[in-house]
Every structure is written in C-alpha cells, then in structure tokens.
C-alpha cells in the first residue's frame, strides 16, 4: 500500500498543528486510495473523525439534524413538529434535546443552558447544508478543550469561507415540501463574501399539517486562509410550526386515533435565532493562535400537551415554555510547537473559554395557546469560565500521547417569581484527560483513553427550595455532574481500500440529575454506568462504489442495577454510495434504531425502527444536476420515538400508563434541480 505524503502546510492548516509536526504526522499517515481522509497519525481515539463536504452532501437526510448521524452510532429523531429541536441518542444515552452532546457551529455553542424545555437544548434547524464544509466529531470526555455537555460526544460543524461554484437549487416533494436555496462567494474588497439564503415549507403527512415555515440566511466576509486569516459572520433564522406530538398506543389500537393524528391540535411553536460571530487564526512554524467571539439571540415559544386531560379535565394539559436569551462568549487558544529533532515533536496548548447567558423563561398553563395560569417565571444569568492546558507529544514514529487538564467555574444567578426559589450558586470542577496512541505498523494504531467531563445542570435546580406547582420541598441539585470515561480502541487500514475502527468504552456519571421543563422542577437520578462497543468500517471496493457500516451496542444501568428509561442499546447503519459513473450517482442507506427499556425494571420496551433511504442523481453538463431522494422506501410503520408514562384522554375516567409513540413518516419523494456557475 503506498504511503501518501500531502503537503505538510495543508495538513497543518486542517488539523491546527505546526508544519514541522504535520510533517511528522505525514510520515505515519496512510491514505486509503480513493477513500475518505485517513485519521491515522491524527486522531487521538478510535471514535474521533472528520466528515468532509462531499461525504455530507452524499447523505440522504430528511431534516438538518440528521446530518449529525454522520457521527457513527448517533441517532437523531423527532417526536413533535419539524421546527422543534431533535431528540438525540448516543452511547447508551437518550440525550433528550442535546444534553451530553456538545454541538458547535463555526465556533458558536448550539446547546442552550437552563432552557425552558430541556437542559442543553440543541436546535440545528438553522443549518444550511450547501455551505457546511466539515463535521468533526469526538466521543467521550477525552479532550481537555471540550467542556460542558461533551461527556457522551461532541460535534463541530464548520461553514466554508468560499464555495467552488455558486449554487441555486429548487426542491419539491410530497406532503407539501418545497425548498429554495441560493448561495455564492464572490470576491469583494480583497476578501470573500459568502452568502446563502434558504426558504422552506413542509406540511408533513400529519392530519393537521405541520405548516413548518423556515426562513434562513448566512452572510460572511473573510480574508486570508483557514490557518491564517479572519472572518465575520452574521446568521438569521426564523421558523414556525404546528406540532403533532406523540399519541397513546391504546388510542391507535382501538381506532380512535390514526397514526398521523394529534390529541391537541393547537400545539406547536416558533423559533428565532440571530447571531454575529468572528474568528481569527494565525499559524507559523513555532506557534498557532486562534480566537473567536460571538453574540447569539435565541427566542422560542413552545406549546406542548403530552398528558392531554390528566391534570385539567376541563381545559386540558397544554403548557407553554417561552425562552428568550442572549448568549455571548469568547474562546482563545495558543499552541507552542516544540521541535526535538526529526522524529520527536510536541505541542503545548493553553486556552480559555468564557460564556454568559442572560435568560428569561417561564412555564404556563395554556389552552389553544392562550395563557391560563403561571407555574413559574425566571430571570437567569448563568456565567462560566474555563481554562485548559494540553500537551501533545510524539516519541518517534510508533508512540505519541496527549495529556491535559481543564478547570471550569460556573455561577448560577436565578431571580424567580417565587422568592424561596431565588438565589445564587457556584460550582467548580477540574477535568483531567489522558490519551496514549501506539502505532506498531504504519497502517494500524491502538488507543488508550481516560478522562473526566461533565454536564451543567439547570440553574433553577441549584437554588430551588420548593416545587413551583405543588409547593413540595425540593433538594437542591449540584451545578455540575461529573462523568468519568475510559476506552480502548483500534484503527487499521491494513487491508487495501478499507478503514476500520473499533472501541470498547465505559462511562460513569455521578448523577443524572435533569431539569424537567415540562414540570418546572429538577428530577433526581442516581449514579450510572454505561459499557459499550462500537465498530466503524469503510470499504471502497471499486472506484465508483463505497460501503459504510457502523454498529454500536451499549449497556446502561443505574448503579442500583435499574435500567435507564430511553437508554439506547443497539444502533447501526449500512450505506452504499455510487459515484464516478459518468453523469450518474446514487446512494442507499439502511438505518437500525434498536429497542430501548421504557421503565426501570425493563418490563416495557420500545420496538425497533428500521428505515431505508436512497437517492439517484443525474448531472446534465457542467452546470445542471437533477436528484431524486426517497425516504422510508419500504414504507415501514415504525415509531420514531417511544415513551411510557400516564395520560388521560377526553372521556376516560382515570389516567392510564401507556406507551406513547411518534410514528416515522411514510414513504415520500423529493426532486431537486440544482444549477452551479
């Protein structure tokens, strides 16, 4: 197998290392001919990777959040209207709307702390796929530059500074789907002006249409290059939608509700996101510096009803969760590149992260989106600062290591409409991490990883004394919940045109305390432990065909032996992608989302879900392309998500425990016409 030696400066720019150290990396990198970028000599664990623009564009995704499924082992689902943040599953977690999955877009955090609906709320509906340049992902708390929410994994999405060609596209599909996108990057005043505009409408298959309306735009001015340059970016997104929340299985079985019906036809929401950010980077032989700053304004109005008439037989149980916030922050890091001969090198990085959230949110009883009563109203100022030091060392061609420590300090300041739930709290955590990588062959590496991480808990839970609805006393929650992870992994390209990675991990949490936005309280959970094994395999048997296979299994338990409701067990994906067939291209992707326990004793479990998506593309000349996408090709009637809890329908004498499900969408087609110039 030939060893490819790309330009060290290009590798240095891509992975933020010095040209000299990049040259050392090149000595050990083996690039599989015609395949995705090799991670040998670069990745610090078997579960870290990078997915480029071409691979992301080849994926068939029903909604923007499914772009994150390019991270092996991750599942993105939905249990409500299209504009709502996705549900995520990874490494034995039901991550809810993003807890323990740290997500960043162009240096800006997507996770929203102390959110009205769910801690770590991660809404990626503002993503425009045509300008996404790369997705970098990691799993486990093994990188000291990661902080809050990164215990299970992290995803960093980068927009491009310049497009190869300007693009305009129009998509039409079943169930009222229509999308228009326009993007380009002309040269302006010695730099590049990137622009992108997206308009989308989607009704979905629901009896009461989602009526999802998205308006989305990006404007960026940049100068220089990725490793030596700067950029300023403005983004604006607005979405409105109706919601078809999960329905009880009993109503589906007795025929009182159809699969695409809703119990409360007035649920739904609207979201707005506006941001201004700047990035700067400077690289040289001896050092690399980078800094970013951002201001983000998020607004959400969310109306939900999951229990129907259980709490209020007259008006129903709908509730509103408005959230208004301004998030500002600064990240900076400086790396010293130390050279010790031709075979030894090291990088020493010091960095800091500051973030402040100024939040106004609440919880209200409503009927048809009309406010009836107030459960709670809060003004939260949550401020955090983190410092980290990390050293990456290479001892010859066969051994390298990374060691670091991170210290985070959080301040929670809550002003509640209930004086007893008003207060201020602090929490601090030090998080060490260590990785050792052994490469006995140029084509194979072994990894040992250990690290501490955390997620922050909702600020309201750190100072609350009583339940705002029942007035029962509450035990205050810690501000930060520690995680400890360890992992053994292997990555190999010993077989020509194949890349394989396998890892075995354990992840412990001191507490799984979560803020239950639907009730306005913090729910206490015990310590937990997760074991798991993951396999990622890529094969390019022919120049025009690639095969992806990912599989993961996790065992999640509370330390008292109970199952953890919703914890994902087995997931898998198999994809066939064809390109370089003249004007033709295509793909098929089979996704398996395994059953989960829905109660602690495992007596009630969800069903598995299997979907098959595909696409066929035809390029007419240099400038025109026609693409047909198909979703749920086999028209499976599976659930996208399942819960088990008590609810009461109109006319029922008492509440009943039941499975509540949100169905996957039926088979649908979308046709896209694209022109480039």
Q: What is the mean pLDDT of the chain?
A: 91
Q: Are 315 and 365 in contact (CB under 8 A)?
A: yes
Q: Is the whole model's pTM more than 0.85, yes or no?
A: yes
Q: Are 94 and 104 in contact (CB under 8 A)?
A: no
Q: Are 586 and 614 in contact (CB under 8 A)?
A: yes
- For the purposes of burial, counting CB atoms within 10 Å of the CB of 666, is it exposed (0-12), middle (13-18) or buried (19 or more)? middle
Q: Are 347 and 336 in contact (CB under 8 A)?
A: yes
Q: What is the DSSP letter of 118?
A: B
DSSP-derived secondary structure for 287-313: EEEEEEEEEEEEEEEEEE-SSBTSS-T
Q: Are 436 and 413 in contact (CB under 8 A)?
A: no
Q: Are 152 and 142 in contact (CB under 8 A)?
A: no
pLDDT in tens, 169-211: 999 999 999 999 999 999 999 999 999 999 999 999 999 999 9
Alpha carbon distances (Å) from 174 to 130, 197, 262, 668 = 22, 22, 20, 6
Q: What is the pLDDT of residue 490?
A: 97
Q: Lowest-pLDDT range, 48-52, 231-235, 315-319?
A: 48-52
Q: Lowest-pLDDT range, 1-10, 321-330, 357-366, 448-457?
A: 1-10
Q: Are 8 and 23 in contact (CB under 8 A)?
A: yes
Q: Lowest-pLDDT range, 109-123, 241-255, 503-517?
A: 503-517
Confidence band (pLDDT; 50, 70, 90) for 15? very low
Please write down the HEC assignment for all residues of 143-199: CCCCCCCCCCEEEEEEECCCCCCCEEEEEEECCCEEEEEEEECCEECCEEEEEEEEE
Handedness of CA 297, 111, 334, 389 (dihedral sign): positive
pLDDT in tens, 108-150: 999 999 999 989 999 999 999 999 999 999 999 999 999 999 9
| CB-side neighbour CA atoms (13 Å) of 289 | 3
Q: What is the pLDDT of residue 519?
A: 67
Share of the chain above pLDDT 90, in %: 83
Confidence band (pLDDT; 50, 70, 90) for 470? confident
Q: What is the mean pLDDT of residues 544-569?
A: 94
Pairing label, strands 153-159, 167-173 = unpaired
Q: What is the mean pLDDT of residues 270-289?
A: 95
Show the tokens assigned to 430. 């030090």
Q: What is the pLDDT of residue 243?
A: 93
pLDDT in tens, 394-452: 988 899 999 999 999 999 999 999 999 999 999 999 999 999 999 999 899 999 999 99
Q: Lowest-pLDDT range, 162-166, 198-202, 511-515?
A: 511-515
Q: Are 447 and 42 in contact (CB under 8 A)?
A: no
Please tell me the distance from the alpha carbon of residue 19 to that of residue 335, in angstroms, as a whole number.
13
Please tell me the distance from the alpha carbon of residue 323 to that of residue 358, in angstroms, as a whole number.
11
Report whether pLDDT(4) > 50. no
pLDDT in tens, 619-648: 998 899 999 999 999 999 999 999 999 999
pLDDT in tens, 64-75: 999 999 999 999
Confidence band (pLDDT; 50, 70, 90) for 345? confident
| Orientation angle between helical segments 8-15 and 19-28, nearest 10 degrees | 100
Q: Enumerate the β-bridge partners of residue 430.
A: 407
Domain boundaries, the chain: 8-676
Neighbours of 28 (CB within 10 A): 22
Q: Are 537 and 499 in contact (CB under 8 A)?
A: yes
| CB-side neighbour CA atoms (13 Å) of 207 | 14
Report whether pLDDT(23) > 70. no
Q: What is the pLDDT of residue 511?
A: 85
Q: How far is CA 412 from the centre of its chain?
A: 25
Q: What is the pLDDT of residue 41?
A: 87
Contacts (Cβ under 8 Å, ≥6 apart) of 582 = none
Please tell me the distance from the alpha carbon of residue 305 to that of residue 266, in angstroms, as a whole number.
9
pLDDT in tens, 514-555: 656 566 566 667 899 999 999 999 999 999 999 999 999 999
Please tell me the distance from the alpha carbon of residue 570 to that of residue 553, in angstroms, as a whole number.
4
8-676 belongs to CATH 2.60.130.10: no
Strand order in the sheet with 101-105: 49-52, 132-139, 153-159, 101-105, 108-109
Show the tokens assigned to 453. 């991480």
Report whether pLDDT(16) > 90. no
Report whether pLDDT(25) > 60. no
Helices (H) and strands (E) in the chain, counts: 5, 37
């Amino acid at each position: 197998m030939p060893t490819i030696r790309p330009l060290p400066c290009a590798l240095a720019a891509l992975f933020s290392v010095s040209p000299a150290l990049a040259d050392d990396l090149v000595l050990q990198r083996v690039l599989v001919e015609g395949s995705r970028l090799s991670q040998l000599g670069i990745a610090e664990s078997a579960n870290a990777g990078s997915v480029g623009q071409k691979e992301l564009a080849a994926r068939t995704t029903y909604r923007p959040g499914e772009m994150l499924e390019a991270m092996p082992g991750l599942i993105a689902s939905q249990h409500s209207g299209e504009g709502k943040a996705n549900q995520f599953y990874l490494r034995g977690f039901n991550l809810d709307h993003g807890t323990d999955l740290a997500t960043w877009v162009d240096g800006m955090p997507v996770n929203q702390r102390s959110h009205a609906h769910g801690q770590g709320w991660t809404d990626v509906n503002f993503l425009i796929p045509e300008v996404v340049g790369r997705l970098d992902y990691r799993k486990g708390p093994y990188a000291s530059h990661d902080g809050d929410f990164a215990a299970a994994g992290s995803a960093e999405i980068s927009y491009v500074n310049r497009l190869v060609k300007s693009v305009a596209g129009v998509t039409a599909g079943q169930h009222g789907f229509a999308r228009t996108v326009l993007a380009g990057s002309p040269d302006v005043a010695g730099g590049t002006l990137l622009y992108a505009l997206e308009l989308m409408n989607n009704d979905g298959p629901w009896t009461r249409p989602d009526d999802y309306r998205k308006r989305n735009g990006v404007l960026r001015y940049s100068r220089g290059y990725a490793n030596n340059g700067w950029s300023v970016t403005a983004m604006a997104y607005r979405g409105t939608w109706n919601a078809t929340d999960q329905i009880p299985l009993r109503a589906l079985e007795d025929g009182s509700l159809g699969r695409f019906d809703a119990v409360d036809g007035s649920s739904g929401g609207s979201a707005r996101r506006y941001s201004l950010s700047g990035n700067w980077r400077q690289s040289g032989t001896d050092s690399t510096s980078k800094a970013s700053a951002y201001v983000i304004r998020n607004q959400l109005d969310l109306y939900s009803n999951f229990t129907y008439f259980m709490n209020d037989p007259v008006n129903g149980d709908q509730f509103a969760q408005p959230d208004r916030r301004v998030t500002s922050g600064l990240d900076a890091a400086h790396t010293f590149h130390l050279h010790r001969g031709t075979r030894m090198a090291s990088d020493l990085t010091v960095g800091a992260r500051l973030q402040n959230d100024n939040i106004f949110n609440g919880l209200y009883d409503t009927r048809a989106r009309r406010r009836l009563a107030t459960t709670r109203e809060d003004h939260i100022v949550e401020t955090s600062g983190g410092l980290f030091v990390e050293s990456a060392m290479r001892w010859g061609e066969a051994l390298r290591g990374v060691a670091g420590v991170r210290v985070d300090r959080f301040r929670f300041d809550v002003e509640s409409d209930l004086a007893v739930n008003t207060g201020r709290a602090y929490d601090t955590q030090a998080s060490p991490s260590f990785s050792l990588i052994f490469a006995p062959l140029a084509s194979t590496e072994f990894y040992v990883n250990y690290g501490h991480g955390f997620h922050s808990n909702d600020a309201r839970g750190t100072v609350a004394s009583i339940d705002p609805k029942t007035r029962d006393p509450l035990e205050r929650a810690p501000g930060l919940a520690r995680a400890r992870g360890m992992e053994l992994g292997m990555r190999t390209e010993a077989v020509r045109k194949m890349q394989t990675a396998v890892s075995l991990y354990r992840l412990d949490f001191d507490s799984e305390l979560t803020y239950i936005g639907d009730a306005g309280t913090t729910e206490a959970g015990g310590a937990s432990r997760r074991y798991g094994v993951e396999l990622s395999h890529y094969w390019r048997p022919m120049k025009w065909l690639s095969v992806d296979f990912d599989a993961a299994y996790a065992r999640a338990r509370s330390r008292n032996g109970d199952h953890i409701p919703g914890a994902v067990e087995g997931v898998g994906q198999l994809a066939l992608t064809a390109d370089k067939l003249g004007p033709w291209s295509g793909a098929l992707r089979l996704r398996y989302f395994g059953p989960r326990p829905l109660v602690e004793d495992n007596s009630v479990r969800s069903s598995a879900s299997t979907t098959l998506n595909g696409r066929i593309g035809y390029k007419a000349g240099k400038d025109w392309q026609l693409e047909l996408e198909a979703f749920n090709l086999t028209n499976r009637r599976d659930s996208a998500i399942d819960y088990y809890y008590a609810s009461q329908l109109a006319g029922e004498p008492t509440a009943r425990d039941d499975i509540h499900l949100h169905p996957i969408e039926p088979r649908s087609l979308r046709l896209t016409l694209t022109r480039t110039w």
